[in-house]
Amino acid sequence: MTTQAVIIEPIRRPFPALKYQAWHRMIHPYYTKQPSNVVGEYIRHFCPQGGLVVDPFCGSGVTAIEALTSRRSAICMDLDPLAVFITRQTCLAPVDLNAYWEAYHQVEREMKPIVEFVRNASTRELEDYEITEWYPKGVKLPSNADRGYVEGLFDRRQLIIFAHLHSAIMRMPNEQARGLLLLAFSASLAIANKMSKYDRKRGGGTCGVFIVYRYWVPPYPSYRDAWDVFKVRARLVANAKKKSNEIFGDFVREGETFSVYRDSAESLLKCVDEKSVDYIYTDPPYGAHIAYLDLGTMWHAWLGFEVTDGMRAREAIEGGEQQFDEKHYLDVLQKSFEQMFYALKDDAWLSLVFHHKETRLWYSIRDMLRYSGFEYVNCVAQPLSYKTFHKIKNPLRVLGESLIVNFQKTAKRKISQPMSLPMANLIKNVAERVIYRGGGATTEEILREVVPELLDDDLFIDAAAKNISDILAILDSDFELDNNNMWQIRAGRKLGNFIEPRKRIRYYVMRYLHKVGKANFDEIVTFILPRLINGHEPTKEDIDDVLKEVAVSHDGINWELKKPEELAEQGELPLFETAAEYVAEIPASTTHNQQIYRLALLCQKAGLVPYIGRQERSDPMLARLKPLTQLNIKVEPEKMRRIEQIDIIWATADGSPVWAFEIEEHTPILSALERFSALLDATPELGHRHQVTIVAPKTRRRKLNQELTTSSYIGRPAYLETKISYIFAEDLEKEFNKLTTRASIRGEELHSICHFPTGSETGGRE
Q: How far is the CB of 602 from ligand SAM (least distance, A)?
A: 50
Q: Which residues, at least 6 apart from 170, have a Cβ–Cβ distance to it below 8 Å? A: 178
Contact range with ligand SAM by CB under 6 A, out of 31-39, 389-397, 585-593, 721-729: 31-39
The b/e string for 475-503 (b: 16+ C-beta within 10 A; e otherwise) is bebbbeeeeeebbbbeeebebbeebeeee
239 contributes a contact to ligand SAM by CB under 6 A: no
Using CB under 6 A as the binding rule, whether residue 314 contacts ligand SAM is answered as yes
Q: CB under 6 A: which stretch of 58-66, 535-543, 622-630, 742-750 binds ligand SAM? A: 58-66
* Shortest distance (Å) from residue 125 CB to ligand SAM: 41
81 touches ligand SAM (CB under 6 A) = no
Helix (H) / strand (E) element for 52: namely strand 52-55
Q: How far is residue 119's CA from residue 225's CA, in Å, rounded to a whole number?
A: 9
Least distance between ligand SAM and beta carbon 330 (Å)? 12
Q: How many residues bind ligand SAM (CB under 6 A)?
A: 25
Segment near ligand SAM (CB under 6 A); pick from 71-79, 322-330, 400-408, 643-651: 71-79
Question: b/e for 410-439, b at 16 or more Cβ within 10 A?
Answer: eeebbbeebbbbbbbbbbbbbbbbbbbbbb
Question: Residues 560, 553: contact at Cβ < 8 Å?
Answer: yes
Shortest Å, Cβ 605 to ligand SAM: 45
* Residues 632-645: b if buried by 16+ CB within 10 A, e if exposed: ebebeeebeebbbb
User: Can residue 79 be called a binding residue for ligand SAM (CB under 6 A)?
Assistant: yes
Residue 396 CB, shortest distance to ligand SAM, in Å, is: 20
Exposure string (b/e) for 451-465, b if CB count within 10 Å is 16 or more?
A: eebbeeeebeebbee
User: 264, 408, 420, 425: which one contacts ligand SAM (CB under 6 A)?
Assistant: 264
Give 35 or 438: the residue with its C-beta nearer to ligand SAM.
Answer: 35
Task: Return the residue of 15, 27, 34, 750 that touches ligand SAM, per CB under 6 A.
Answer: 34
62 contributes a contact to ligand SAM by CB under 6 A:
yes
Question: Comparing C-alpha atoms, which of 754, 751, 674, 766 is closest to residue 714?
Answer: 674
Q: Of residues 40, 51, 59, 418, which one binds ligand SAM by CB under 6 A? A: 59
Sign, Cα dihedral of 225, 230, 236, 239: negative
Does position 90 interact with ligand SAM (CB under 6 A)? The reply is: no
Beta carbon of residue 60, minimum distance to ligand SAM (angstroms, whole number):
4
Task: Select the residue interacting with ligand SAM from 234, 240, 298, 316 (CB under 6 A).
Answer: 316
Q: Is 80 among the residues that bind ligand SAM (CB under 6 A)?
A: yes
77 binds ligand SAM (CB under 6 A): yes
Binding residue for ligand SAM (CB under 6 A) from 83, 307, 379, 745? 83
In the set 265, 352, 669, 714, which binds ligand SAM (CB under 6 A)? 265
| Residue-level length of the chain | 766
Span 330-389, contacts to ligand SAM by CB under 6 A: 332
Pairing of strands 692-696, 657-663: parallel
Q: CA torsion angle for 73, 78, 83, 88 (degrees, to 10)?
A: 30
Residue among 23, 57, 85, 227 that touches ligand SAM (CB under 6 A): 57
Distinct helix (H) and strand (E) counts, the chain = 30, 19
How many beta carbons lie within 10 A of that of residue 32, not counting itself?
Answer: 16
For 59, which DSSP code?
T
- Examine residue 284 and say whether the peptide bond preceding it is cis (omega within 30 degrees of 0): no
Among 15, 23, 30, 479, interactor with ligand SAM by CB under 6 A: 30
Q: Which residues bind ligand SAM (CB under 6 A)?
A: 30-34, 56-57, 59-60, 62, 77-80, 83, 264-265, 283-285, 292, 314-316, 332
